């Protein structure tokens, strides 16, 4: 028997009474996905102007870190926002990607591009190993299990000194070369990060509108209900967890080859906690949320530099304000504005 | 043999502190269902405030009292001014907010009390006590004794007093408790005060052995949480057993196997508990498992 497609779960909850045919068509998953991909194309065309706008290599490299953070947060948003599972080891997978690719290149002379692929696959594989037992847990128990895994990885990063360089970090990681062309400066590496993160956004959009993506969202809604409709909730969550880890592993490998240096504290569980916060700030389970989360995660620490020691306090206080007054995140604020505008237009038309 | 006995003793003292941290976690977990990420920071804050007051030539007892009161005030203020304003206080929203409060607490301590490690003298000197061939730091007795006392007192509080029973009623069924005339918000504030007070006390009694500084809190908090998990989340005797088990396990692994991977032991134990026996050693009831 052919499996029946699930009804689309619209992620904006605007209006909602008796959808007209036109509205239903707009919310059909594939149409939504096409629209999202068009927007991604447009946004990435705009981002392509960044090297022209950026005055120096420092500003340009912020753009690169934005794309790397987008990979991290976008992947995490799939598991947390759409899958409803709390994962606190995204920074662990990030570090795993960085160290696998970095160590392979530094100690074994593996070509960086191959290393990046191995790192991505390795992160996904380790997510499989830890996800098999951990994803059977729910809520806080899952959060703590993933946090514990991140902590164990952190200890390994700083204690396997002969491989990773220990607390001093791994230095002299070679840059990626593409077809004999060395991506060793920011203006060249930018395009790799630009392309990879754009590709991830397109893949996410396709994934979310596919059967697997809709299944994942159904699982987040109710595991029992989705299970009774022929979805295997466990497999669905495991696949999302692996995809998210692969994104983080890829981000880590890119980070290592761009930065040419990696040190353990970048990948501690404190980073994992912050990444979760960024998912929430950007907009929990909203497609565009990670873009905002990545902007905040990249720009705010730089902007707060001038506060020096007070940086952490400003950050914490800002987080409290956002959590109190913007519980749906920055992307949610956009939807809220849109709804307000639509209402305004409707009332004008009525009068 | 002597080495093992020494390791067990040091495990017992760090384990007692983990137990106190775990106790604080359990109290807040029961009343809000949230993970209190600030618990470790409160422990650190207790140690730092006590050390700073002592350095300003306050008597030791007064410094400790002042530390406990200060941290309880901070916790009550965060509950009153921040957590109560959350529109939909789901467990997740409260957990995220506790992360923010933890970040703020840590940076406030750093800004107000400085970045240098701080110390307190042992409560009855630091001359080791000889007991069969073992040289024991007198602070060990204080730590174990105070932990036992606090555990007994909390047990008595929750089992015998009206206030403690009211708090348990709110944890079990907030609506029903409210119908019986118990204010759930009062119970929540109380659990924050209790958790912070116990945490601050834990911070002051461990400082003479390990020093403290503004960045000690996070790891201490997570180890305390592992202890709570190990013993069974939400179970008060479980906190004691989990803490002591974790402390001794860590000390033995650090001393006999490898000191490099000592910090990983707590987390390996956490993962094994979660995978094999998610209710913990003493926990019972429903664990959300698919």
pLDDT tens digits along B208-238: 888 888 888 888 888 888 888 888 877 888 8
Which residues of A fall within a CB distance of 8 Å from B267?
148-149, 151-152, 155
Mean pLDDT, all residues of chain B: 84
Q: How many CB pairs under 8 A join A and B?
A: 128
Q: What are the structure tokens assigned to A315, written together?
A: 């950050």
Q: Do A273 and B99 touch (CB under 8 A)?
A: yes
From B244's Cα to the closest Cα of chain A, the distance in A is 19
- In this structure, what are the phi and psi dihedrals at residue A59, rounded to the nearest 5 degrees? -65, -40
With CA atoms as reference, the chain B residue closest to A143 would be B35
Q: Of chain A residues 311-350, which have a CB less than 8 A from chain B?
A: 311-313, 315-317, 319-320, 323-324, 327
Integer distance in angstroms from the first to the last C-alpha of chain A?
52
Rounded Cα–Cα distance for residues B29 and B249 (Å): 25
User: How far is A58 from A40, CA to CA, in rounded Å?
Assistant: 25
Q: Which of B110, B218, B290 sits opposite A233 (nearest CB)?
A: B290
Is the pLDDT at B261 greater than 50? The verdict is yes
Q: Which residues contact A298 (CB under 8 A, 6 or more apart)?
A: A62, A65, A66, A69
End-to-end CA distance of chain B: 45
- Provide the pLDDT for residue B289: 41
Question: Are B92 and A86 in contact (CB < 8 Å)?
Answer: yes
Higher pLDDT, A21 or B155: B155
Nearest-Cα distance to chain A for B283, in Å, is: 13
Please report, to the nearest 10 degrees, the dihedral formed by the alpha carbons of residues A305, A307, A311, A314 taken in order: -130
Q: From the list B92, B260, B275, which residue is nearest A159 (CB)?
A: B260
How close A16 comes to chain B (CA, Å)?
22
Paired with A171 in beta bridges are: A261
For residue B160, pLDDT over 80 is answered with: yes
**Do A92 and A149 contact (CB within 8 A), yes or no?**
yes
Q: A152 and B268 in contact by Cβ < 8 A?
A: yes
Contact A252, A114 (CB under 8 A): no
A145–B271 CB contact, under 8 Å: yes
The closest alpha carbon to A171, from A108, A259, A68, belongs to A259
Nearest CB to A149 within list B85, B86, B271:
B271
Instruction: Please check whether residue A322 is in contact with residue B124, taking contact to mean a CB–CB distance below 8 angstroms.
Output: no
The ranges of chain A with pLDDT < 50 are 1-19
Sign of CA dihedral B176, B180, B185, B188: negative
Q: Residue A82's Cα: distance from chain center in Å?
A: 12
Q: Is B125 helix (H, G, I), strand (E, B) or coil?
A: strand
A307 touches chain B (CB under 8 A): no
Q: Are A91 and A268 in contact (CB under 8 A)?
A: yes
Chain B residue nearest residue A278, CA to CA: B96
- Convert the pLDDT of each residue in B74-127 to its tens digit: 999 988 888 888 887 777 778 888 888 988 888 888 888 888 888 888 777 777
Rounded to a whole number of angstroms, the distance from the CA of B134 to the nearest CA of chain A is 31
Nearest Cα of chain B lies from the Cα of A172 at a distance, in angstroms, of 25
Shortest CA gap A81–chain B (Å): 12
Residues in A touching B234 (Cβ below 8 Å): none
Tell me, what's the pLDDT at B95?
80
Q: Which two tokens stand for residue A143?
A: 């959060």
SS3 of A262, please?
A: strand
Question: What confidence score (pLDDT) does residue A91 get?
Answer: 93
Helix (H, G, I), strand (E, B), or coil: what is residue B135? strand
Q: Which residues contact B274 (CB under 8 A, 6 or more apart)?
A: A133, A134, A137, A141, A144, A145, A148, B229
**Is A137 close to B264, i.e. CB distance below 8 A?**
no
Q: Does residue B4 carry a pLDDT above 60?
A: yes
Annotate A104-135 with three-state secondary structure. HHHHHCCCHHHHHHHHHHHHHHHHHHHHHHHC
Q: Which contacts (CB < 8 Å, 24+ apart) does range A308-316 have?
A: A309/B107, A309/B110, A309/B111, A310/B107, A310/B111, A311/B107, A312/B103, A312/B106, A312/B107, A312/B110, A313/B103, A313/B104, A313/B107, A313/B108, A313/B111, A315/B103, A315/B107, A316/B100, A316/B101, A316/B102, A316/B103, A316/B104, A316/B107
Question: pTM of this prediction?
Answer: 0.82
Query: Which among A270, A261, A216 has a CA at the least distance from the CA of A77?
Result: A216
C-alpha angle A270-A315-A80 in degrees, rounded to nearest 5: 50
Distance CA B158, CA B22 (A): 16
Contacts of A323 in chain B (CB under 8 A): 86, 93, 96-97, 100
Whether residues A141 and B274 touch (CB distance < 8 A) is answered with: yes
Of B35, B107, B289, the CB nearest to A138: B289
Alpha helices in chain A (DSSP H): 21-26, 29-47, 50-53, 57-77, 90-108, 112-134, 139-159, 161-164, 186-209, 211-221, 223-228, 233-259, 269-283, 289-303, 311-325, 329-350
Give the residue among B221, B229, B219, B237 at the shortest CA–CA distance from B272: B229
Cβ-based neighbour number of residue B211 at 10 Å: 15
Distance from CA of B276 to the nearest CA of A (A): 9
Query: HSE on the CB side for B108, CA within 13 Å?
Result: 18
* pLDDT band at B284; cut points 50, 70, 90: low
- For residue B268, give Cα distances in angstroms to A51, B10, B275: 45, 20, 11
* Nearest CA distance, B101 vs chain A (angstrom): 7
CA distance B92 to B70: 27
Q: Which of A1-10, B139-148, B252-261 has the highest mean pLDDT?
A: B139-148
Beta bridge partners of A262: A170
| Chain centre distance of CA B265 | 19
- The residue-averaged pLDDT of B247-252 equals 88
To probe the interface with B, which of A144, A273, A328 has the most B CB atoms within 10 Å?
Answer: A144
Q: A295 or B290, which is more confident?
A: A295
Three-state secondary-structure class, residue B65: helix
A-chain residues near B106 (CB < 8 A):
312
At A90 the three-state DSSP class reads helix
Nearest CA in chain B to A234: B290
Q: What is the pLDDT of residue A22?
A: 57
d(CA B5, CA B12): 10
Rounded-to-integer distance, Cα B254 and Cα A23, Å? 63
Structure tokens at B252: 């033995």
**pLDDT score, position B290:** 38
Higher pLDDT, A333 or B56: B56
Residue numbers of A between 69 and 88 with CB closer than 8 Å to B: 86
Residue tagged 């109380």 (tokens): B190
Residue A312 to residue B110, Cβ atoms within 8 A = yes
Does the distance separating the beta carbons of B270 and A144 come in below 8 Å?
A: yes
B31-35, B68-72, B107-111, B180-184: which has the minimum mean pLDDT?
A: B31-35
C-beta separation of B145 from B201 below 8 A: no
Interchain contact A304–B (C-beta under 8 A):
no
Cβ-Cβ contacts under 8 Å for A292 (sequence gap 6 or more): A281, A282, A283, A329, A330, A331
């Amino acid at each position: 028997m052919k499996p029946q497609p699930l009804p689309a779960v619209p992620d904006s909850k605007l209006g909602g009474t008796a959808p007209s045919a036109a509205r239903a068509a707009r919310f059909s998953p594939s149409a939504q996905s096409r629209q999202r991909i068009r927007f991604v194309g447009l946004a990435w065309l705009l981002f392509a102007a960044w090297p022209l706008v950026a005055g120096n290599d420092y500003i340009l490299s912020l753009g690169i870190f934005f794309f790397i953070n987008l990979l991290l947060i976008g992947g995490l948003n799939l598991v947390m926002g759409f899958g409803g599972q709390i994962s606190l080891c995204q920074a662990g997978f990030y570090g795993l990607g960085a160290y696998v690719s970095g160590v392979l290149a530094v100690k074994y002379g593996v070509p960086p591009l191959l290393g990046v692929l191995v790192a991505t696959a390795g992160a996904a594989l380790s997510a499989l190993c830890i996800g098999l037992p951990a994803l059977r847990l729910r809520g806080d128990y899952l959060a703590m299990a993933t946090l514990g895994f991140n902590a164990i990885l952190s200890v390994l990063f700083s204690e396997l000194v002969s491989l990773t360089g220990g607390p001093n970090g791994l230095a002299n990681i070679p840059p990626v070369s593409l077809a004999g062309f060395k991506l060793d400066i920011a203006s060249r590496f930018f395009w790799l990060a630009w392309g990879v993160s754009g590709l991830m956004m397109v893949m996410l959009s396709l994934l979310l509108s596919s059967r697997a993506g809709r299944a994942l969202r159904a699982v987040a809604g109710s595991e029992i209900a989705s299970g009774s409709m022929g979805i295997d909730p466990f497999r669905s969550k495991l696949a999302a967890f692996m995809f998210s880890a692969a994104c983080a592993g890829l981000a880590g490998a890119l980070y290592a080859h761009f930065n040419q240096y990696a040190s353990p504290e970048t990948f501690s569980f404190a980073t994992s906690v912050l990444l979760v916060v960024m998912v929430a700030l950007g907009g929990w389970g909203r497609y565009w949320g990670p873009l905002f989360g990545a902007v905040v995660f990249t720009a705010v620490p730089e902007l707060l530099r001038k506060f020096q020691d007070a940086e952490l306090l400003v950050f914490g206080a800002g987080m409290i304000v956002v959590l109190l007054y913007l519980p749906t995140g920055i992307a949610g604020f956009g939807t809220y504005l849109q709804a307000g505008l639509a209402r305004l237009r409707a009332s004008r038309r009525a009068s | 043999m002597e080495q093992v006995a020494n390791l067990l003793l040091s495990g017992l003292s760090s384990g007692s502190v983990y137990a106190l941290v775990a106790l604080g976690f359990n109290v807040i977990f029961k009343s809000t269902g949230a993970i209190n990420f600030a618990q470790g920071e409160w422990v650190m804050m207790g140690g730092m405030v006590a050390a700073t007051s002592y350095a300003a030539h306050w008597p030791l007892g007064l410094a400790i009292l002042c530390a406990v009161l200060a941290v309880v005030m901070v916790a009550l203020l965060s509950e009153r001014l921040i957590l109560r304003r959350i529109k939909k206080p789901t467990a997740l929203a409260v957990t995220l907010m506790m992360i923010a409060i933890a970040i703020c607490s840590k940076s406030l301590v750093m800004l107000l009390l400085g970045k240098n490690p701080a110390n307190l003298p042992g409560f009855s000197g630091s001359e080791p006590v000889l007991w069969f061939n073992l040289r024991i730091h007198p602070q060990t007795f204080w730590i174990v004794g105070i932990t036992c006392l606090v555990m007994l007192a909390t047990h008595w509080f929750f089992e015998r007093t009206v206030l403690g029973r009211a708090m348990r009623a709110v944890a079990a069924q907030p609506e029903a408790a409210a119908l019986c005339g118990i204010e759930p918000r009062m119970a929540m504030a109380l659990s924050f005060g209790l958790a912070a007070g116990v945490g601050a006390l834990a911070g002051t009694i461990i400082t003479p052995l390990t020093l403290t500084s503004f960045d000690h809190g996070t790891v201490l908090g997570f180890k305390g949480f592992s202890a709570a998990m190990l013993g069974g989340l939400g179970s008060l005797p479980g906190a004691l057993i989990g803490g002591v088990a974790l402390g001794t396990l860590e000390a033995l692994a650090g001393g006999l196997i490898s000191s490099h991977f000592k910090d990983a032991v707590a987390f390996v134990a956490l993962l094994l508990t979660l995978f094999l026996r998610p209710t913990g050693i003493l926990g019972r009831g429903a664990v959300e498992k698919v």
